[in-house]
Amino acid sequence: MNKNHLDRRHALPIAGEDHARLTIDLGALASNWRSMSRRSGAARTAAVLKANAYGIGLESAARTLFAAGARDFFVASPAEGATLRPIVPDGRIFVLSGMWAGSERLFFENDLVPVISSEEQLAIFMAAIADRSDHPCALQIDTGMNRLGLTVADATALATDPARPASFSPVLVMSHLACADDPAHSMNRTQLDLFRLATAAFDGIDASLANSAGIFLGEDYHFDLTRPGISLYGGAAVNDVPNPMKPVVTAEARILLVRDANAGETVSYGASAVLMRDTRIAIAAIGYADGYLRSLSGTGVPLRQTGLSGASGFLHGQRVPVIGRITMDLSHFDVTDLPKGAVRAGDFIELFGPNIAIEDVARASGTIDYELLTSLGARYHRNYVEAER
């Protein structure tokens, strides 16, 4: 390796061809899973990997979580399950959307466990396994979301139905909490009581109720298997308390140029930001096509009328606010308060990560970290930092 090459490698954080990059800390991901596993007490701890592992990348996430000790995985669709199967050959993969007519083959070929959520899905499943010895399934019970799942009454009737086929023997009975991010919400207790009632009818079958926030509600909610998602990826599961998880994802974008504008001039589409002072503006190569949502704009979107300020970036040790509307590929940041000459074309600005919590950025746009993560576009260069073994 000649000296020139070494220098280029050294300069990588600044020079290089990436216009925006994600750094994904797989060590933090593994650490977050172990932390949720400890919080789950005696219950086994699964990992929810739907939507490309909340946007961070299914393959690296699954490999890391399996190495950390996870053996139960949840995805949304059978196609996601088929993608996951070769990555975790010995894992158990639950498919939350259940089985529909035409999807059976994916389940059998990839050894996926459908989570059955309606009488209709149950009929499709029973027909599909009629000429097979057996295939595992899970049963979802709706305790208050009014989304997926049999009603408690229907589930209890099914459990005690003498005509129930002997081949119907779910390996898991589960439900999903609607309000666990708000520990004081009365809905939590209501759903817990309903779930207990329903699971009593399925004696001896593993039960699962808690997502990330549900795990923080305490032992009553843990049952046999917990299902954390967002907490593994560093998101804030519970509202209005400090987030104990390690940040996993850092998003950064290249500064393309720095320009000076005068008080009274306007910025970006709609000319909605009128400069109150002479302003130095850094233009970053990031926009709503990258999932840097338009609702993060400094001005000129309806949310800003509610009094929330827009997002900030982090650059040279300081927070710098977005000004004007975020556009498809580009955003404006006000860097006037940084020392003159500090910001240079080619620098990276942090959008979220260790210095700017992802949940704060989400709040600035009126959404949640789940949506920010799963909206990350395809244009980022993804850089995976391996977990230490």
Residues serving a catalytic function are: 50, 269
Query: Quick one: which segment of 211-219, 328-336, 340-348, 373-381 binds ligand PLP (CB under 6 A)?
Result: 211-219
Residue 196's CB is within 10 A of a number of other CB atoms, namely 14
Binding mask 63-102 for ligand PLP (x = CB under 6 A): ---------------------------------x------
- Min dist. Cβ of residue 234 to ligand PLP (A): 11
- Min dist. Cβ of residue 230 to ligand PLP (A): 4
Determine contact, residues 110/85, Cβ cutoff 8 Å: yes
Judged by CB, which is closer to ligand PLP: 238, or 322?
A: 238
Judged by CB, which is closer to ligand PLP: 215, or 273?
A: 215
Pairing mode, strands 249-261 and 348-352: antiparallel
Judged by CB, which is closer to ligand PLP: 230, or 349?
A: 230
Among 127, 155, 341, 288, smallest CA distance to 107 is for 127
Beta bridge partners of residue 261, listed in sequence order: 279
Rounded Cα distance, 350 and 203, in Å: 51
Query: Residues 144, 149, 170, 228: which binds ligand PLP (CB under 6 A)?
Result: 228
Query: Residues 57, 91, 229, 298: which binds ligand PLP (CB under 6 A)?
Result: 229
Determine contact, residues 138/172, Cβ cutoff 8 Å: yes
Judged by CB, which is closer to ligand PLP: 50, or 325?
A: 50
Query: What is the Cα gyration radius of the chain?
Result: 24
Query: Residues 23, 64, 97, 211: which binds ligand PLP (CB under 6 A)?
Result: 211
Query: Residues 20, 24, 48, 326: which binds ligand PLP (CB under 6 A)?
Result: 48
Q: What are phi and psi of 261, to 5 degrees?
A: -130, 155
Query: Residues 227, 280, 294, 304: which binds ligand PLP (CB under 6 A)?
Result: 227
Judged by CB, which is closer to ligand PLP: 48, or 106?
A: 48
Scan residues 8-27 and list those touching ligand PLP (CB under 6 A).
Answer: none
- Give the residue at shortest CB distance from ligand PLP: 229
**What sign has the CA pseudo-torsion 166, 121, 47, 156?**
negative
Q: Does 56 bind ligand PLP (CB under 6 A)?
A: no
Query: Quick one: which segment of 24-32, 224-232, 313-321, 322-330 binds ligand PLP (CB under 6 A)?
Result: 224-232
Q: Does 230 bind ligand PLP (CB under 6 A)?
A: yes
Q: Two tokens at 379?
A: 């244009």
Burial class (CB in 10 A: 0-12, 13-18, 19+), 315: buried
Q: Does 212 bind ligand PLP (CB under 6 A)?
A: yes
Among 166, 122, 168, 163, smallest CA distance to 141 is for 122
Query: Quick one: which segment of 105-113, 205-213, 270-278, 318-326 binds ligand PLP (CB under 6 A)?
Result: 205-213
Dihedral (C-alpha) 162, 149, 101, 54: value to the nearest 10 degrees? -140
CA distances from 162 to 120, 127, 165, 245 (A): 19, 18, 8, 47
Judged by CB, which is closer to ligand PLP: 19, or 196?
A: 196
Q: Two tokens at 317?
A: 């040790």
Query: Quick one: which segment of 191-199, 207-215, 301-309, 337-345 binds ligand PLP (CB under 6 A)?
Result: 207-215
Judged by CB, which is closer to ligand PLP: 8, or 38?
A: 38
Judged by CB, which is closer to ligand PLP: 190, or 355?
A: 190
Scan residues 134-193 and list those touching ligand PLP (CB under 6 A).
Answer: 176
Query: Quick one: which segment of 20-28, 126-134, 222-230, 322-330 binds ligand PLP (CB under 6 A)?
Result: 222-230
Residues that bind ligand PLP (CB under 6 A): 48, 50, 96, 176, 211-213, 227-231
